[in-house]
Structure 1
């Protein structure tokens, strides 16, 4: 039995990170070697009940130390854990834990990570020192690998692997997505997030309204993914669109869904959509998993890094978004929807096997570490 400790942004009700955790747990449980999994979580009881694993408080030194002492492998990731755009506390916590884990675990893995931006010298220095000493280093895009090599890591030591959420790829677009007839209203999903002063929400709302004038009937669904964080921004967009309903007869309804309770339920929230406009990274990943053509708005380089992998570009950035960007971006996505969906399906199919292979590689390194 391999003892695995998982560290990430877990237990905060962010469905992107919860989907990463769910994917890793599912993959580890399906691996050839039996694993006992402990998660460092902000809500350990909820995490334990939700996924059927052990969980301890990520901020309890005693519980974290106890978990590390019995661990064979420590996995830091996935997600965008190492970035200092929002705060210094987050990267220092994760890098400190990665460095500390080396005293207890047979193997430490810095895995499935998106790295950057790193704007401060202390964080760049600590990233270089901590990640260099990890037994396995893998990132989810070439931009992250380039950043790590600029800090002194050898390019050959860094694997580029898919976001683990792609292990949930089923191979077929949801039946519900194709259920609508030719005369059914178009379904547009919108996944926003709070960012800085939220000024980008106004041109986003106006752009959706202008786009709707080309559509006979459009139903719009707001999809908050981070409970307690995204609802306010989603409500602002919904209210703005509802005010325009009376002026624009093509918008026939504006709906605001509640965040999903479990990653396995995410497809229920997305089912029936013809298109998605996403600011959150994992809204774009979920759309790709389901073959739903998507248009992304960049608030962080990780958005373009992902979209580039499916041959797309962001339709704009939160810093200088215009309603025209949104209108034209949605028009283009609708026009190319079949091509985009086929590309998404091909991409998702390729990634699933890569993730399973990388998890097996990590688990195999445990046995090697014990032998050494």
Structure 2
């Protein structure tokens, strides 16, 4: 029997971000449905989390990026070894941007632009898998992205802005395919599990419903970028006033839903600024995993979010969303689910604008939920198509000419011998 296909999956899989873990779970699920017994190598700074929460079938091996494994997060021998002993390398999510380009504790693009061309020259396909690109705003970032794209054999993007970035920077690339975010396939926990969470956290007691809010710790970065407010305090005050107005105007409760634990240091001060404390609750992925959070979001009337994957988890269960645009990928996702009219751009974010958008979304929430149902089913199917595209690329018929050298008509694990996993 041929040994399993070894797939190295590159993303930010520390366990601190519910969205990133939802991506990994969705990717593994879709590929397992299309390939026979695939074996996954997952570089991570939290090997224990991968072993305990992701390795369900014994076919997911964490690759430690910790210092005692001779790695400074992404930069080190473990990543080099994982990529050189894999049959195919998948880059997913949104890890290719140029902020803090040469800091491997924060940035992936610089390191991957050095390592992945080596794997490509050895005949290992490098694939952008349901990925987003950018932002890339510096000359060196453009050079790194150009180098990485030259190493790619297959490009599957999850949004149009990523292709527009490549065209704007004049970076040659294989003709892209378009799929969707792997996290859309998140399977929310059942209603009885949500009942237990609601009882524990005292949620969903208001007959007028609960509006979810999600915030991002990088408020200072976004504010500096658009030149508004001298620090985050002014914006937090505005957001708190807006939320108090929404509680009064709509007679709803508010639930802060945090999907990245670092965002608690913004969410908690914001929550304390709200006058009507008895109407405000908070949950986070510090206690609840992605499927539990999705189940809670299913009961919210809508979610107002800054983190793209908070919006994705909400939309995956049919909950209407209002996106506060802090990243290009947020715009890309909202447009993909035909909700561009529910976008608030960061340079226009203020108390009155937020109240108006949320009130409008609340008023039409039932119609939006009905409209979203077929759209989300379509996007879930598109996310799963990434695995079909990958399979067809790796195992196309011998009489089909390859788009990119080396020939993909021979399965990658037969082109060069590789050691078996430990």
Where 2:249 maps in the other structure, the secondary structure is coil
Q: Aligned-pair distance for 1:104? A: 4.5
The answer for the alignment partner of 1:207 in structure 2 is 242
Closer/same/farther in 2, CA of residues 294 and 357 from structure 1, 3 Å limit: closer
Q: Distance in 1 between matches of 2:327 and 2:216?
A: 12
Where 2:14 maps in the other structure, the secondary structure is coil
1:71 aligns with 2:90: no
1:57 aligns with 2:85: no
Q: Aligned-pair distance for 1:351? A: 1.7
Q: Distance in 1 between matches of 2:325 and 2:342?
A: 6
The answer for the alignment partner of 2:322 in structure 1 is 295
The answer for the alignment partner of 1:328 in structure 2 is 356
Q: Distance in 2 between matches of 1:314 and 1:183?
A: 24
The answer for the alignment partner of 1:353 in structure 2 is 381
Q: Gapped runs of 5+ residues in structure 2?
A: 221-230, 397-407, 416-422
The answer for the alignment partner of 1:239 in structure 2 is 272
* Coordinate RMSD, CA, aligned: 2.8
Q: Aligned-pair distance for 1:87? A: 4.8
Where 2:116 maps in the other structure, the secondary structure is helix
Where 1:277 maps in the other structure, the secondary structure is strand
Detail structure 1 runs of 4+ shifted over 6 Å in the superposition.
172-177, 179-183
Q: Aligned-pair distance for 1:213? A: 1.8
**Post-superposition CA distance 1:319-369 (Å, at most 9, x none):** 442100110011110112123212322221002222222212213433453
| Pick aligned residue for 1:254 from 263, 275, 280 | 280
Q: Aligned-pair distance for 1:166? A: 1.7
| Pick aligned residue for 1:116 from 114, 118, 134 | 134
1:94 aligns with 2:127: no
Where 1:188 maps in the other structure, the secondary structure is strand
| Pick aligned residue for 1:29 from 32, 35, 47 | 32
Closer/same/farther in 2, CA of residues 86 and 285 from structure 1, 3 Å limit: farther
Q: Distance in 2 between matches of 1:316 and 1:334?
A: 15
- TM-score calculated relative to the size of structure 1: 0.87
Q: Is the 8 A contact 2:325 2:346 kept in 1?
A: yes
Aligned residues: 360
Q: Gapped runs of 5+ residues in structure 1?
A: 246-250
Closer/same/farther in 2, CA of residues 370 and 10 from structure 1, 3 Å limit: farther
